[in-house]
Amino acid sequence: MTDIFLEGGRALIGSEFVETSLLVSGTDIAQVDGSRSRARLAINARDLLVLPGIIDLHGDAFERQMMPRAGVDFPIDVALADSDRQAISNGITTVFHATTCSWEPGLRSADNARGLMEAIERQRPQFAADTRFHLRHETYNLDAETEISQWLSEGRVDLFAFNDHMDGTVGDLAKPRKRNRMVERTGLSGEDFDRLVGHIMSRAADVPASVSRLAAAARAADVRMLSHDDATPAMRQSFRAMGVAIAEFPINEETARAAASHGDAIVYGAPNVVRGGSHTGWTKASDMIAKGLCSVLASDYYYPAQLLAAFRLAADGVLPLTEAWNLVSAAPARATGLADRGVLAEGRRADILLVDDRVPLRPRLIAVISGGKLVHLTDATRLLGMAAAPREAVAAA
């Protein structure tokens, strides 16, 4: 692997920006404030921000590559390859593909989740981003419990979330536009969809025990867990008691405060920050951040959002950029147990972004290094002259 030297730049070291240079060797950062040494590849980072790579613990934008229109499918391998390019080009060097495993047929079915997991495992060596599997289990999908328990025990799940969208599904049945969208996604007729919902609802009494068993399986496998759309402090407490330490999109301030008071990681969507509010009309993420009630921002459904959100928070005076960046790098690394990344420090994984921040609110990504490899470059004039190969390397050739 080619060593890389980043010359100059305002690097986020600890809690401040420092004018310094970085040396990357192998997959790691070898030196901070080092010299070029024998690095054959060097990049001029002067006048640029040098930032840790973005970690996205919840992103499902890949679904648009799989099904760009209702009923229009593309092969999973093609969709994932395109999603990898999109993630990297937006500075995401570690991506957890949030894959829904629902009682629905179609895009969010158990069959589709299985296919995605297997495709990620096959293609992982080809991806530029470190690509992981975040399984979003719809708790009413009781028939999938045995198989999911097996996936957990086999180490095939990197994050495990409990979702319960049943109340919303039932409520949306009376809204023609939303109902049609749900039905189209499943490929069923309207009548068959109604019958399926009725059958699933009839098993509601069995859901709590299933959730408890799956949480125990995840704990045994040392897989970190999330609960999605917690509605009350009691709901958050119930999940915490089962070892679910990440609150994903709590829907009100009271529940977010309950999570924060116990040190839970709290996730909101970066698109919420960029757009100035939730598209569902729920909690405004920037308000939660200002109150210390959000520790992680995820891409949710739009890969460019994390990069843009950090700069939006800084421009709006919500947080300085040094702290805003932690929401998309160091904090998600801690929440997911990835102690080798999320900061720029010697011995840490070399996931590094070079960003031109001259245009307010529109940061431009110049280069991305992922796991020590230069995987994205938009300005070739930043490349410095190649160093001569070491003599022993020439002799060996």
**pLDDT above 70: residue 392:** no
Which residues lie below 8 Å from residue 380, measured CB to CB, with a gap of 6+? none
pLDDT of res. 230: 95
Residue 175 burial (CB count, 10 A): 11
Confidence (pLDDT) at 344: 98
Separation in Å, CA 48 to CA 17, 19, 24, 226, 362: 11, 10, 17, 35, 14
Residue 385 banded pLDDT, cuts 50, 70, 90: confident
Residue with tokens 């919902």: 197
Residue 368 CA neighbour count, 13 Å, CB half: 23
Q: 3-state DSSP call for residue 305?
A: helix
The proportion of the chain whose per-residue pLDDT surpasses 70, expressed as a percent, equals: 95
Higher pLDDT, 71 or 285: 285
CB-CB contact of 372 with 28 (8 Å): yes
Q: What residue type is 174 in one-letter code?
A: A
Which H or E run includes 275?
helix 270-275
What secondary structure, in 3-state letters, does 68-129 show? CECCECCCHHHHHHHHHHHHHHCCEEEEEEEEEEECCCHHHEHHHHHHHHHHHHHHHHHCCC
Q: Check whether 396 has a pLDDT greater than 50.
A: no
Segment 233-257 shows an average pLDDT of 97
| Among the ranges given (50-59, 196-205, 212-221, 346-355), the one the predictor scored with the smallest mean pLDDT | 196-205
Name the band, by pLDDT with cuts 50, 70 and 90, for residue 389: low
| H-only helix segments in 107-189 | 110-123, 145-153, 166-172, 176-186
**Which of 22-26, 165-169, 178-182, 311-315 bottoms out in mean pLDDT, i.e. has the lowest?**
165-169
Tell me how far apart the 2 most distant CA atoms of the chain are, in Å.
Answer: 75
Element (H, E) at 315: helix 305-315
Domain ranges of the chain: 4-52+344-396, 54-228
Residue partners of 361: CB distance under 8 A and separation at least 6: 308, 311, 312, 315
Label residue 112 exposed, middle or buried (CB < 10 Å: 0-12, 13-18, 19+). buried
Beta bridge partners of 159: 134, 224
Q: Say what the pLDDT of residue 41 is.
A: 95
Angle CA 170–171–174, to nearest 5:
100
Tokens of 393: 């390397």
168-177, 323-332, 359-368: lowest mean pLDDT where? Answer: 168-177
Query: What is the pLDDT confidence band of residue 395, given thresholds at 50, 70 and 90?
Result: very low
In this prediction, residue 393 carries a pLDDT of 47
**Lowest-pLDDT range of 139-153, 172-186, 236-250, 292-306:** 172-186
pTM of the model: 0.91
Interval 127-184: pLDDT, tens = 999 999 999 999 999 999 999 999 999 999 999 999 987 777 766 677 788 888 778 7
pLDDT at 391 > cutoff 60: no
Confidence of residue 382 (pLDDT cuts 50, 70, 90): very high
> Given this model, what pLDDT does residue 324 score?
98
Q: Is the pLDDT of residue 12 over 50?
A: yes
CB 69 within 8 A of CB 105: no
Q: Are 285 and 327 in contact (CB under 8 A)?
A: no
Q: How many angstroms separate the CA atoms of 139 and 235, rounded?
A: 14
Mean pLDDT of the chain: 92
Helix (H, G, I), strand (E, B) or coil at 194: helix
- Which residue is listed with tokens 């599997």? 133
Check residues 71 and 243 and name the one with the higher pLDDT: 243
- The sign one gets for the Cα dihedral 89, 91, 95, 97 is negative
**Would you say 362 and 64 are in contact if contact means Cβ atoms under 8 Å apart?**
no
pLDDT range class, residue 185, cuts 50, 70, 90? confident
- CATH assignment, 4-52+344-396: 2.30.40.10
Q: Which two tokens stand for residue 323?
A: 């702290």
- Please give the average per-residue pLDDT across 212-216, as a whole number: 98
The pLDDT of residue 386: 67
Distance CA 313, CA 16 (A): 16
pLDDT at 107: 78
For the CA atoms of 90, 244, 294, 297, the dihedral, rounded to the nearest 10 degrees, stands at 10
Amino acid identity of residue 140, one-letter, is Y
d(CA 376, CA 328): 19
Phi first, then psi: give them for residue 383, nearest 5 degrees.
Answer: -70, 130
